[in-house]
Amino acid sequence: MDNGDAPAYGKLTAREKRDLQKSQLRPLANRRPELYEEDEFTSDEYERMLELYNGTLASIEEGEIVKAHVLEIRENLVVLDIGFKSEGTIPLEEFKDMPDLKAGDEVEVLLEHLEDQEGSVVLSKKKADFMRVWERIRVAYESDQPVEGTLVKKIKGGVVVDLMGVDAFLPGSQIALRRVPNIDELLGQKYEFKIIKLNKRRRNIVVSRRVILETERAGKREKLMKELAKDQVRKGVVKNITDFGAFIDLGGVDGLLHITDMSWGRISHPSEMVQIGMELEIKVLDIDWERERISLGLKQLQSYPWKDVAAKYPVGTRVSGKVVSITNYGAFIELEPGIEGLVHISEMSWTRNVRHPSKIVSIGEAIEAVVLKVDETEEKISLGMKQTEQDPWVILPLKYPVGTRINGKVRNLTSFGAFVEIEPGIDGLIHISDMSWTKRVQHPSEVVKKGDAVDVVILNIDSENKRISLGLKQAEEDPWLRIGETYPVGTELPGKVVRLMDKGVVVDLGNDIEGFVPVSQLNPEGTVTNPADFTYEAMNFVMRVLEVDPIHRRIVLAVTSIPEEQPPKPAEPSKVHSSEDELGL
């Protein structure tokens, strides 16, 4: 080699020198000096150049972490020099933890391969970071030491945790001691974890926070077992809320504050009293270490509201309260927190027939009532709503003396009479026997109908039993007072059979007047022994009055003739009544 052709290294940049050395010196490294021509170069020159080349190729092995210099930063690549014959490139995204990266910076990367198919060095910063962290993770795993990590992303079955820049998996069952209702709220939080599974080949790291919490709880529980005692008052933090109560963290052990022990008053849900994270002062009611159950109370720190309640609410006191519950038999009224009284359905109205309390009151309604009875032992107070008003039944006898004639509306019919409304909420009964002076009424519907306006007379008022007896027939003059004048003995008149008796038949004479024909007077010959053999209902007769008895209210008749034209005989035989007493005869 002619010295004049030797490269002018002093005028080249470092990169150009390196490129020139790699291209010119490497082929010489495999040539033996004795094979060269004498005029090419001397042995000393060969040794010098070989030394220079070997310095360029420092001892590097695949799979090692090496230092590299940043040569250039492109749009999405970083070009790096590790002192080898060619550069390597790494995607820029692997340097997201180095936002200030620039040319000339020194970084550590993993040498994956000295050459790829194109002769380039294969490098990875991400894998270098992983290998550096992995060693620390391995040491922590083998020594059972906790490591700090950040919850970064929710995935199926658990959460991804950033563990010193490496992704680890936190199963959902290992997040906390109990199921976490909303994992999203934990994202971004830093916690300590125990590594419970490690697989370098698969890069699989499984961590647990629950293991650390259980260890902490065990230590706190042991300490708390020595300190905690029944009837003790302690502070705790609301950890969870359910429909039946709230779990309170006492400092390593949870206790249950049941909904019934939250307040002396009535509450629908624990959230009305407590919220998660709230600090409370509570009382220890019971401890069962074997079952790990601690019962807590909040209301027990307040004074017992039923103490001396009889003196506070004496019988006859007028009180006000809010309707907090409605049942089939009444409504519960809250007089103050922890003190409730019952208004029985029978104590809601003097006059209305209340079928259900909800027809009178509603939840949350403010009402006034009167204390009827107090039982401190059973924690019961009986209240009356109707007692806040005057009992109308007390003044009814004065308002409606016996004999008073009034007009009312028929509200209901029964088999024994008709109920007539005297005034709103107050009904009187017209018994079936007080509907007609002359007619034997079988059913009230024969005389009145529901909704009819009728004139009635007050017969009796029983204020104690809340009953009023009314008379419909008494609103008219008794026709029997002049019945003898209307139907003198010997008078002949037509009539129609309305009922068959075993001793005769009852006939309708018109004007609601009925008479009786004995069986012996059914025909002139007197040969009839059974009325059903001779006559039937609706059959017409011509009769003569034999007797008029106004006192016993009866007219006795005898058949004198039977008209030829008669209504058809019914297919079914007429019913024969067994006794004249049914007719009042």
Q: How confident is the model at residue 416 (pLDDT cuts 50, 70, 90)?
A: very high
In the predicted structure, residue 9 carries a pLDDT above the cut 50: no
In the predicted structure, residue 438 carries a pLDDT above the cut 80: no
Query: So what's the pLDDT on residue 582?
Result: 45
pLDDT digits (tens, 9 = 90+) for 315-326: 999 999 999 999
**Based on the structure, what is the number of domains in the chain?**
7
pLDDT digits (tens, 9 = 90+) for 122-132: 888 878 877 77
In the predicted structure, residue 430 carries a pLDDT above the cut 90: yes
Q: How confident is the model at residue 577 (pLDDT cuts 50, 70, 90)?
A: low
The answer to whether residue 261 is domain-embedded is yes
Cα–Cα distance, 489 to 62 (Å, whole number)? 147
In the predicted structure, residue 6 carries a pLDDT above the cut 50: no
The answer to whether residue 500 is domain-embedded is yes
In the predicted structure, residue 330 carries a pLDDT above the cut 90: yes
Query: So what's the pLDDT on residue 575?
Result: 67
Same domain as 362, residue 334: yes
Q: Which two tokens stand for residue 540?
A: 């017409």
The answer to whether residue 498 is domain-embedded is yes
Same domain as 342, residue 295: no
pLDDT digits (tens, 9 = 90+) for 491-527: 999 999 988 988 899 998 887 788 999 998 988 777 7
Same domain as 543, residue 522: yes
The answer to whether residue 468 is domain-embedded is yes
Same domain as 489, residue 570: yes
Q: Residue 51: which of 18, 29, 31, 30 has the closest Cα? A: 29
Q: How confident is the model at residue 39 (pLDDT cuts 50, 70, 90)?
A: very low
Q: How confident is the model at residue 35 (pLDDT cuts 50, 70, 90)?
A: very low
| Share above pLDDT 70 across residues of the chain, in percent, rounded to a whole number | 86
Q: Of 84, 101, 128, which residue sits at a domain end?
A: 128
The answer to whether residue 141 is domain-embedded is no
Q: Residue 90: which of 64, 70, 104 has the closest Cα? A: 70
Same domain as 205, residue 195: yes
The answer to whether residue 384 is domain-embedded is yes
The answer to whether residue 140 is domain-embedded is no
In the predicted structure, residue 107 carries a pLDDT above the cut 50: yes
Q: Of 250, 282, 301, which residue sits at a domain end?
A: 301
Q: How confident is the model at residue 13 (pLDDT cuts 50, 70, 90)?
A: very low
8 A C-beta contact, residue 416 and residue 435: no
Q: How confident is the model at residue 532 (pLDDT cuts 50, 70, 90)?
A: confident
Question: Which of 141-145, 218-222, 352-356 has the weakest average pLDDT?
Answer: 218-222
Same domain as 124, residue 88: yes
The larger pLDDT score, comparing residue 277 to residue 17, is at: 277
In the predicted structure, residue 574 carries a pLDDT above the cut 70: no
Same domain as 80, residue 18: no
8 A C-beta contact, residue 339 and residue 308: no
Q: Of 285, 301, 317, which residue sits at a domain end?
A: 301
Domain harbouring 88, CATH code: 2.40.50.140
Same domain as 441, residue 471: yes
What is the extent of the structural domain holding 546? 483-583
Q: Residue 330: which of 386, 377, 374 has the closest Cα? A: 386
8 A C-beta contact, residue 248 and residue 260: no
Q: Sign (positive/negative) of CA torsion 371, 373, 376, 381?
A: negative
In the predicted structure, residue 36 carries a pLDDT above the cut 50: no
Same domain as 104, residue 50: no
Q: Quick one: residue 9, left, alpha or beta (phi over 0 = left, psi -120 to 50 = alpha)?
A: alpha
In the predicted structure, residue 38 carries a pLDDT above the cut 60: no
In the predicted structure, residue 347 carries a pLDDT above the cut 70: yes
Query: So what's the pLDDT on residue 27?
Result: 47
Query: So what's the pLDDT on residue 43?
Result: 57
Average of pLDDT values for 355-359? 91
In the predicted structure, residue 7 carries a pLDDT above the cut 90: no
Same domain as 470, residue 410: yes
Average model confidence (pLDDT) across the chain: 82
In the predicted structure, residue 272 carries a pLDDT above the cut 50: yes
Q: How confident is the model at residue 352 (pLDDT cuts 50, 70, 90)?
A: confident
Same domain as 365, residue 314: yes
- Please give the model's pTM, rounded to 2 decimal places: 0.45
In the predicted structure, residue 211 carries a pLDDT above the cut 60: yes
The answer to whether residue 281 is domain-embedded is yes
pLDDT digits (tens, 9 = 90+) for 542-557: 999 999 888 778 899 9
Same domain as 403, residue 381: no
Question: Which of 6-15, 107-116, 296-305, 446-455 has the weakest average pLDDT?
Answer: 6-15
Cα–Cα distance, 414 to 437 (Å, whole number)? 20
User: Read out DSSP for 362-427?
Assistant: -TT-EEEEEEEEEETTTTEEEEESGGGS--HHHHHHHHS-TT-EEEEEEEEE-SSEEEEEEETTEE
